[in-house]
Amino acid sequence: MCEIEIQAQKYGGIPHYHWKTTLAEKNDTYILVIGEKNRQLVHHTKKATFTIHKPSIEFFPLNEWYTASVELVNDNEMKYYCNICMPSVFDGKCIRFTDLDFDVVKHPS
């Protein structure tokens, strides 16, 4: 497994936010990564860096208009996050996608 960076962009390639993950699986149709707990998310739009305290599994299809992640909130509750975006592109070291500013989030009840 190797470390890769995830980069979200706005239209025109404008940096939006980025974070580092660990590659878990890659094939011709998707990439699956593990987000370690206490990772840093650099948010260019908000001009801030956030610490993500919970681990996650993140799914990046290469031919679909979304990404999806599951974050472990506690021992038996998960948060689901779907980011509507242009298809992800992987160059071997970095996954990039253009964020369309529409998200679907399901928090634990």
Question: What's the CA gap between 81 and 50, in Å, rounded?
Answer: 17
Is residue 102 very low, low, confident or very high in pLDDT (cuts 50, 70, 90)? Answer: confident
What pLDDT shows up at residue 59?
98
What pLDDT shows up at residue 101?
87
Question: What's the CA gap between 69 and 71, in Å, rounded?
Answer: 6
Backbone angles phi, psi at 65, to 5 degrees: -100, 50
What's 74's domain CATH number?
2.40.380.10
**CA 44 and chain centroid, separation:** 15
> For 109, which DSSP code?
-
Backbone region of residue 62 per phi and psi (left: phi > 0; alpha: psi in -120 to 50; beta: other values): alpha
Structure-token pair, residue 107: 């928090």
The pTM of the full predicted model, rounded to 2 decimals, is 0.91
* Closest among 9, 6, 35 to 22, alpha carbons compared: 35
| Per-residue pLDDT reduced to its tens digit, 82-101 | 999 999 999 999 999 999 98
Per the structure, the complete domain to which residue 39 belongs is given by 3-106
| Per-residue pLDDT reduced to its tens digit, 51-87 | 999 999 999 999 999 999 999 888 788 999 999 999 9
Q: Per the structure, how many domains does the chain have?
A: 1
Three-state SS for 39?
Answer: strand
| Per-residue pLDDT reduced to its tens digit, 7-45 | 999 988 999 999 999 999 999 999 999 999 999 999 999
> For 36, which DSSP code?
-
